[in-house]
Amino acid sequence: MGDEREQFDLIIVGAGPAGATAAIYGVRYGLKVAFFETVDPVSQLTLTPVIENFPGFGGNGFELLQKMKEQATKFGAIHKFENVEKITKNGEHFTIKTDLNTYDAKAVIIATGGRHREIGIPGEKEFVGKGVSYCATCDGNFFRGKKVAVIGGGNTAVEEAIYLKEIGCDVMLIHRRDELRADKAYQSEFFSRKIPVIWNSVPVKIEGNEVVERIVLYNKVENKEFSMDVSAVFIAIGITPATDIVSDLGVERDSRGYIKVNKKQETNVPGVFAAGDCCDNPLKQAITACGDGAVAANSAFEYIKMKFQKDNS
């Protein structure tokens, strides 16, 4: 009585591949589902310029995710652009507070993914938006024809370097070891483009006046510091899970902040499930995030059926 909160069976925090898939499966189980999209962190998938390892799909990450979200809303899931600020458990129900509203849910799936990791060197923070970027697809255009550096040796760094080369940047890759971490398929694409690599080198500082002008590096093998003139530094050294939202719920996380889940994507808190890059799963791919999302939705459905069946009958 008097409580005008919108009620859902299942609320999904996140609208990346894990969240969108959980929404598709949740509504198809007959649940009333809402899934929430935030700008920070944005889904890593939307920033992926070319998808070559999602079976049956060819295109960019934005298009793929758009199709997933449309599929979820077509079946009746409610998509909301609201920032989830707090989740609390009150008895059997969850209260989800966003920047705009407060909602009630019987179960929650956390699919918040991760945000870019920072190096933590002088100049990095100061030059964000003035040459330091964490997203080549967002900012690469500003640096066509200019000399730019990508930091990192994983799939993201290699993809970004390829993308920047394709759009006409004079790009080099800077990596702290003498071999790349990226999958072999990405490596062949990368090396075939003859993108120069500065090996065994760690960034020390980023310098400039109004905008980035150079990066100072330390070569670990030669034990010497040197600098390279660049107009932009694209940092792609991995992600950190965006899981602060679960701290008040008592959801267990590992030492790096990833949510601990079992094979059913259950967390230690009944009614709270997690899926995708925010979990302590071994492989962080769009396809595995989708799998996690489907499993999490199934587990949430079983949980709601078991816990609330008396209320529904």
Residues known to be catalytic: 135, 138-139
Q: Walk across the sheet containing 201-208 and list its strands.
A: 201-208, 212-219, 224-229
Q: Is 177 in the site for ligand NAP (CB under 6 A)?
A: yes
Dihedral pair phi/psi, residue 122, rounded to 5°: -55, 140
Nearer to ligand NAP, 71 or 240 (CB): 240
Alpha-carbon distance 72 to 34, whole Å? Answer: 10
Q: Is 176 in the site for ligand NAP (CB under 6 A)?
A: yes
Q: Do 103 and 8 contact (CB within 8 A), yes or no? A: yes
Applying CB under 6 A, the site for ligand NAP has a residue count of 21
Dihedral pair phi/psi, residue 192, rounded to 5°: -65, -20
Alpha-carbon distance 163 to 3, whole Å? Answer: 51
Interacting residue with ligand NAP among 24, 232, 237, 249 (CB under 6 A): 237
Which residue of the chain is nearest ligand NAP when measured via CB?
Answer: 154
Token pair in block for residue 108: 């929650």
Token pair in block for residue 142: 């500003």
Quick one: which segment of 105-113, 233-241, 253-261, 293-301 binds ligand NAP (CB under 6 A)?
233-241
Alpha-carbon distance 185 to 51, whole Å? Answer: 12
Residue 69, amino acid: K
Q: Is 188 in the site for ligand NAP (CB under 6 A)?
A: no
Quick one: which segment of 2-10, 16-24, 162-170, 231-239 binds ligand NAP (CB under 6 A)?
231-239
- Closest CA relative to residue 214, chosen from 240, 233, 239, 187: 233
- Closest CA relative to residue 134, chosen from 40, 213, 65: 40
Interacting residue with ligand NAP among 89, 115, 181, 205 (CB under 6 A): 181
Nearer to ligand NAP, 14 or 26 (CB): 14
Interacting residue with ligand NAP among 42, 78, 135, 202 (CB under 6 A): 202
Nearer to ligand NAP, 147 or 176 (CB): 176
For residues 210 to 229, the per-residue mask of contacts with ligand NAP, x marking binding by CB under 6 A and - elsewhere, is --------------------
Alpha-carbon distance 256 to 254, whole Å? Answer: 5
Q: Do 296 and 18 contact (CB within 8 A), yes or no? A: yes
Nearer to ligand NAP, 26 or 152 (CB): 152
Q: Is 59 in the site for ligand NAP (CB under 6 A)?
A: no
Nearer to ligand NAP, 152 or 271 (CB): 152
- Closest CA relative to residue 225, chosen from 233, 237, 215, 217: 217
Strands in 135-267 per DSSP E: 147-151, 170-174, 197-198, 201-208, 212-219, 224-229, 232-235, 239-241
Q: Which 265-284 positions form the footprint of ligand NAP (CB under 6 A)?
A: 284
Alpha-carbon distance 301 to 313, whole Å? Answer: 16
Q: Which 92-151 positions form the footprint of ligand NAP (CB under 6 A)?
A: 119, 151
- Least distance to ligand NAP, CB of residue 93, Å: 34
Q: Is 236 in the site for ligand NAP (CB under 6 A)?
A: yes
* Binding region for ligand NAP (CB under 6 A): 48, 53, 119, 151-157, 159, 176-177, 181, 202, 236-239, 284-285
